[in-house]
Structure 1
């Protein structure tokens, strides 16, 4: 009876993964017409190359998108971003983490990655078991084997950087099994398994024809290099073993030498089609393959543009963007204006790093397209209160200069006092721009705010050359080769669309410049949180308190002449009281997540909890 249940569960899984895989990649539009899903046998799935490839494609869904968990990912738990309270289903978990209260009993409120990744690992294990003795063309089969070795390595990499050592499971368990008598492998064993899997993928994919969005030899090389960087980092290398840095250097240099180049324009990197000159591995999403309620246009769309904004840059991140002369706007204390920079707190958005204008929406930025039903228009990013208001902001609300005289387009439709307009409830949503800024990177302003069937232009880039330039710079700093480190940081800064002055610093200043450059270049790419953990740099960053931003922005319309799009803005900087409070860093144990209690119980208590989280 149990065998029949196991086979039934397996076939249900196969039907769902074949359907999702075929929808996701659309490799063969006639596939489902040739053989109805309810007529597919298990034998056909693992002996037919098209069905089997769709089974493999489904496993790509085990790669966590950057906005997971919930929406916004982990960046809202760092110094460079804040999540809007109570705006998505992971808010409780985020709050518990930032309070220092993550436990084995509540960690699934933040992430369920343990169960999710082991589900896909099980599918990978089924693949390897079922293809034994396969009659599929060996060359075709080897390509799929290479993909699955990479995917299984990726899933274990995610688990290892989250929990440390985890059980290494290479055989399938039945869906009907209620317990798994397994124990944890060490961090070193798990990391070596990721390296071994990546090496198998490299060999099996050698010579395969590259295809955008598909695992390649170079992607496997990138994963190997990334794992070695994590192994060499302070969290996992307490004795600072130089041989680990040297291994990371060799693997990273191999990726750099694989033939990729920086794309000339940084804005295009996150738009379709995938810019495969720089992108080593990435994905695009169609209306049929994305999660409608989670994603960039829904969750990052600025509240001032009629949305429930869930993630905002902090003032700390804004201050990371240097002036175009290469100077920081503030001294390291973050409060004192750098006299060498030319920065003006009351004119803060001029002469900044070009990436600032591509990646950040600040009061008065734009205009950009807003496509959202009857409110479709082109307008600035409005976030201000009227410095000369009528009593209680009585009508008329309209900005007298709302029509652009050149294009005859409406640039404002929230009135001259945009913040009060929102707070008074004159729009469907509340004002949720706690810091006064929002992220612009990854938004598709040619599409609507949120649509179930619109094919947005964004891509998700998991690996690109700029990351490996920066990884290599970090490795060279650790090895004491500062000249080489500066060279690779400056390669990123010399992208034609950026063209920032070269970094010339050394010592601690070089480390600051490197980490600053990495935060700017790679934000929203699921890097910052993990970087702070592997550097053991959480104190003062993850637990940054208070969160600062624009506490007040006022617009003096009395200075505006007919046709002016704005008057004079005045900025007040201060603490963002609405942000979730962050408590002091609990201790080194917090660099690993607790293992969910139910998973330990399912192992018959064979899995040992991470130190610091035991009862």
Structure 2
């Protein structure tokens, strides 16, 4: 494995790291003036504070983005989202996982995080070796040391929540090393190493101001709190050691007490600039640093682009959004309407949690601004089913009353009669929303759906206050303090722009309310999949089958009046066969990923495979 992870051609590698730049911040112009980039020496990199800071910034790239692997991360492998077949960059691996067939030979089709994170761990180890006797100003150097301790902790956290115990390596190796044998440390050893790294980061970063996109003491407090919550969770705490829950409670309360407040509105949380009142650690994008292809718009845009709607909400997730009165629209079976809710299946978008309207695009939602070449206009979101009641899709294919009042141009809709229009050759895209819903949380409707040049306004938030309110609530449930748990869940619900009724549940109903609130508030933030694993809650969630959604939506224009943008929508709910299939949960061994076979072979079989994967 060391042969793979620690391959070093030192000077050449260091030059590449500096030249390749840093995705979290722009290059310093003074850096470019100091000397030609192709002439940077190893000595200059580790003795010049500007070069060294850029080396550190490059290690930031080891933080796995939420969209990895593929688009949307692992959320398309859970109960709240579905993946469209053959649209993900990692679609083969996603399918293998959902079929229960992931193994040491095909796991890299899903994720290559083992090799990727160890490569950045090596870069962090090089940093510590090279600055050991550095003459750089102590104040500047300590801040960089704090950043790198945090980064090394973050990368080990990613590895151990994916694979369990992994080799802890804190020094770099050259190709002249004789042995590449290395074995795994235990999960507990790895978790404690993460904690020790965060403690060092907390100490070294103390007193430095917080800057958007830059690692801070509070970010280190957050990572420590997250690690302790994972350590206390059922997957890693089978005996339910209460002391672990107490430690997690203390650490999460420390983050809460750091002085953050909820941003008054939720609609703009994921739009620039970073909302530093709530966001503990986040980053913005540039045209050159955002998600591959054209950005979140490319992959999350309603009805997709190039017929690539990669992920979409399930009916299960839609049902998680409560009614404005605080009641669930359905009873726990997911199909029986809750009589106390006031929910109507034929008016499903009425009187819902305000976050529903900000985070979900559903048939009839909008209008939203659509910048799409010659078709730029303000449109409503419809659906892939033919909106006309005409038999056999005879013309007219859309409401003749639909005229944009701003420019007198005829409007046409997302996904207008996709199946028929596709066959007739009348539209090249607009047909991949199999469940009938799309995510709205990360879209930028101020820009085009796809542009290499447009500077989209989306943010990626790695840590924000609501997570720690909810983390703390979880620890209080485990410790039997239900009143405190309700208090912190309700803090999330009391955001001024949300203002949902307080929950008052207890026991199993409180656990349901907690998990539901966490899924709604934190979706698309690389949390839900890992929650299901650490809770050992995968059966019925990850192996959910069948996926449900809107199996049919039609529109009746019979009583439409001049200027109406919508007729009467009619909804049919049912299984969706066109998404990646789900198979029964294989067993507890599936809570950890298999270690890639090639990594075991590179260690001369010193690394042992996770149980259940046949090695």
Give 1:413 deviation, angstroms: 5.1
The residue aligned with 1:582 is: 582
Q: Structure 1, unaligned stretches of length 5 or more?
A: 1-5
SS in 2 for 1:312: strand
Change (3 A) 1:279 1:392: same
The residue aligned with 1:360 is: 360
The residue aligned with 1:312 is: 312
The residue aligned with 1:45 is: 45
Give 1:285 deviation, angstroms: 1.2
> How does 1:532-543 map onto structure 2 within 5 Å?
532-543=532-543
Change (3 A) 1:249 1:410: farther
Measure, in 2, the Cα distance between the counterparts of 1:418 and 1:559: 24
Give 1:39 deviation, angstroms: 1.4
The residue aligned with 1:3 is: none
Give 1:107 deviation, angstroms: 0.2
Q: Structure 2, unaligned stretches of length 5 or more?
A: 1-5
Change (3 A) 1:216 1:387: closer
SS in 2 for 1:554: strand
> How does 1:436-515 map onto structure 2 within 5 Å?
436-515=436-515
Measure, in 2, the Cα distance between the counterparts of 1:7 and 1:580: 38
SS in 1 for 2:554: strand
Assess if the C-alpha contact under 8 Å between 1:22 and 1:28 holds in 2: no
Change (3 A) 1:413 1:466: closer
Range that drifts further, 428-437 or 294-303: 294-303
The alignment's C-alpha RMSD in Å is 1.9
The residue aligned with 1:328 is: 328
Q: Write the deviation string for residues 299-338 of structure 1: whole angstroms up to 9, x where unpaired.
A: 1112167752111000000000000000000001111000
Measure, in 1, the Cα distance between the counterparts of 2:414 and 2:605: 58
- Answering whether residue 111 of structure 2 is matched by residue 108 of structure 1, we say no
SS in 1 for 2:154: helix
Measure, in 2, the Cα distance between the counterparts of 1:612 and 1:408: 63
Measure, in 1, the Cα distance between the counterparts of 2:607 and 2:207: 41
The residue aligned with 2:337 is: 337
The residue aligned with 1:565 is: 565
SS in 2 for 1:552: strand
Range that drifts further, 348-357 or 175-184: 175-184
Assess if the C-alpha contact under 8 Å between 2:300 and 2:309 holds in 1: yes
Change (3 A) 1:182 1:346: same
Change (3 A) 1:545 1:415: closer
Change (3 A) 1:42 1:567: same
Assess if the C-alpha contact under 8 Å between 1:387 and 1:556 holds in 2: yes
The residue aligned with 2:73 is: 73
Change (3 A) 1:415 1:359: closer
Give 1:7 deviation, angstroms: 10
Measure, in 2, the Cα distance between the counterparts of 1:341 and 1:531: 28
Assess if the C-alpha contact under 8 Å between 1:386 and 1:557 holds in 2: no
> How does 1:57-68 map onto structure 2 within 5 Å?
57-68=57-68
Change (3 A) 1:385 1:99: closer
Measure, in 1, the Cα distance between the counterparts of 2:470 and 2:611: 32
- Answering whether residue 195 of structure 2 is matched by residue 192 of structure 1, we say no
Change (3 A) 1:306 1:350: farther
SS in 1 for 2:267: helix
Measure, in 1, the Cα distance between the counterparts of 2:206 and 2:388: 67
Q: Write the deviation string for residues 66-124 of structure 1: whole angstroms up to 9, x where unpaired.
A: 11001121000000000110012211100100111000000000000000000000000
The residue aligned with 2:526 is: 526
Assess if the C-alpha contact under 8 Å between 1:85 and 1:91 holds in 2: yes
The residue aligned with 1:155 is: 155
Change (3 A) 1:365 1:225: same
Q: Write the deviation string for residues 536-588 of structure 1: whole angstroms up to 9, x where unpaired.
A: 00001000011000000010111211111111011000000112211111110
SS in 2 for 1:160: helix
Change (3 A) 1:178 1:421: farther
Assess if the C-alpha contact under 8 Å between 2:67 and 2:73 holds in 1: yes
Change (3 A) 1:413 1:240: closer
Give 1:348 deviation, angstroms: 0.4
Q: Write the deviation string for residues 143-184 of structure 1: whole angstroms up to 9, x where unpaired.
A: 000000000000000000000000001011237879721000
Assess if the C-alpha contact under 8 Å between 2:218 and 2:258 holds in 1: yes
Give 1:213 deviation, angstroms: 0.4
The residue aligned with 2:3 is: none
Assess if the C-alpha contact under 8 Å between 2:371 and 2:449 holds in 1: yes
Assess if the C-alpha contact under 8 Å between 1:397 and 1:415 holds in 2: no
Change (3 A) 1:13 1:387: closer
SS in 1 for 2:280: strand
The residue aligned with 1:118 is: 118
Measure, in 2, the Cα distance between the counterparts of 1:50 and 1:197: 24
Change (3 A) 1:270 1:179: farther
The residue aligned with 1:347 is: 347
- Answering whether residue 61 of structure 2 is matched by residue 56 of structure 1, we say no
Change (3 A) 1:491 1:256: same
The number of equivalent residue pairs is 610
Measure, in 2, the Cα distance between the counterparts of 1:224 and 1:414: 44
The residue aligned with 1:592 is: 592
The residue aligned with 2:92 is: 92
TM-score (norm 2): 0.96
Change (3 A) 1:339 1:205: same
